[in-house]
Amino acid sequence: MKARALVMVLAIAFAFSPGAMAQEVVIGALNDMTGATSDVGKDYALGIAEAVNYCNDNGGVNGKPIKLIQFDYGYRVPEALTKYKLFQRMKAVAIQGWGTGDTEALAPTVTADKMPYVSASYSGHLTDPKKTPYNLFAATDYSTNARATLTAWFDKRWPKHADFGKRKPRLACMYMAASPYASAPIKAIKDQATLLGFDIGPDQDVSLFAIDAKSQVLGLKEFKPDVVWHGNTTMSVATAMRDAYALGLGADHIANLWGFDENLPRLAGKAAEGAMAGTVNAFYGEATPMMPKVVEYAKKFNPGVPQEKRTIHTIQAWSNVLALWEAMKRADKAGALNGEGILKKGFETMKDFDLGLGGAKLNYTETDHRVSGAVPVYELKDGKFQLVQVTDLKSRWPDKWASWMGW
């Protein structure tokens, strides 16, 4: 609570300071540093601020400095709605959002207000510009990632299984059913499982706060899954993997990207060996054109956080900030630095735009806000992340790709 209050006080004091510059470009940021997803949210929040500092050190929005108003809303939807109204009063031209529940709840409002809302929620429900034109993110969506990861497991692991050719592979899902984030890609992954010929077992409801998942693991013993998909964030996913390992479930594990980071092998140990997930950008410290700057700004602005504690979520934050920065610069050059301009003259003019962070090249059109159909799928091998394959859904299923938008 103290951290949230501090962020709020500093943000408000700065926002209303007498020396505020008339030409400043205000953007808001909702982050979770104390709530249910703070295990991954803290690092993301640090990355947002570091990336904005980088943007300002490199000219801001064509000479106009960016003012970041950043709040910890504790992963509470009502608090997000309240802070959104505050951002409006502060004249924000765009917002960096966080969770799926609050982002989807705000979607009709940001559409009506023409407020570009660049979220850390990569829900596939937010990718259809006919329904949610002002919801954007610099990543492949959860549903695309889930389909790609299951396909990679099917391509690489299943042919090596002793029962390959004798029966169908079996999939089960472990996630918090009441969480809009965790449940967002369920329809898509089960559809992909059906497409690939899987048998689908009973879902197991695991809390985002879970420190014990033994009963859920035991609930899968009779079904005997070959692979389990995990939809929660890292701490909960690690718990489920540890208990599956301890109880001898014998299944492989695949996960949503917020449950697959540098902390997973630290928390789950051997239980995470072989786990797979589709990723949206490089891991922290990987060799990419922009990574030296990411590391430089992490050391400069948060020297008290050890480098070994930084994660891929820093890179996800930078990706969203750099994408918005580019969109704002393009809109400003077109004389339209407002919500509609940022969307139409900014994001929707990006074609194969490379952020230099190891993610997909960004493509946004008036009819589709999915940035790419290609997803790099990684596995944990000997405690390190290694590329398994790039699953290109758009190329592999061209007749289905268009119909999958918005899932």
The CATH number of residue 181's host domain is: 3.40.50.2300
In tens, the pLDDT along 189-246 reads 999 999 999 999 999 999 999 999 999 999 999 999 999 999 999 999 999 999 999 9
What the block records as the tokens of 202 is: 């009973």
Same domain, 274 and 359: no
Give the Cα separation of 378 and 388 in Å (integer): 5
Same domain, 251 and 386: yes
Same domain, 64 and 114: yes
Phi/psi region, residue 301 (left: phi>0; alpha: psi -120 to 50; beta: rest), is alpha
Domain that holds residue 70: 2-140+283-372
Assess contact for 335 and 109: CB atoms under 8 A. Answer: no
| Stated length of the chain | 407
CA neighbor of 136 nearest in space, from 353, 327, 288: 327
Is 266 in the same domain as 317? no
pLDDT for 198: 98
What pLDDT sits at residue 308?
96
In this prediction, residue 16 carries a pLDDT of 35
Sole residue written with tokens 């960004």: 362
Beta bridge partners of 170: 199
**One domain for residues 271 and 302:** no
Residue 3: what pLDDT?
40
Residues 67 and 97 in one domain: yes
**Residues 123, 37: one domain?**
yes
Which residues of the chain are under the pLDDT cut of 50?
Answer: 1-22
Answer yes or no: do 151 and 134 share one domain. no
Q: How would you write the chain as a 3-class SS string?
A: CHHHHHHHHHHHHHHCCCCCCCCCEEEEEEECCCCCCHHHHHHHHHHHHHHHHHHHHCCCECCECEEEEEEECCCCHHHHHHHHHHHHHCCCCEEEECCHHHHHHHHHHHHHHCCCEEECCCCHHHCCCCCCCCEECCCCCHHHHHHHHHHHHHHHCHHHCCCCCCCCCEEEEEECCCCHHHHCCHHHHHHHHHHHCCEECCCEECCCCCCCCHHHHHCCCCCCCCEEEECCCHHHHHHHHHHHHHCCCCCEEEECHHHCCCHHHHHHHHHHCCCEEECCCCCCCCCCCCHHHHHHHHHHHCCCCCHHHCCHHHHHHHHHHHHHHHHHHHHHHCCCCCHHHHHHHHHHHCCCECCCCCCCCECCCCCCCCCCCEEEEEEEECCEEEEEEEEEHHHHCHHHHHHHCCC
275 and 168 inside one domain: yes
Pairwise CA distance, residues 225 & 254, whole Å: 12
**What pLDDT, in 10s, does the model give residues 147-185?**
999 999 999 999 999 999 999 999 999 999 999 999 999
**pLDDT at residue 271, rounded to an integer:** 98
Q: Identify whether residues 216 and 266 lie together within a single domain.
A: yes
189-to-136, 194, 242, 293 alpha-carbon distances in Å: 22, 9, 23, 36
Residues 300 and 339 in one domain: yes
The count of domains in the chain is 2
List Cα–Cα distances, 26 to 166, 266, 307, 313, in angstroms. Answer: 60, 38, 29, 23
Q: What pLDDT is attached to residue 315?
A: 98
Give this prediction's pTM: 0.94
Same domain? 16 vs 87: yes
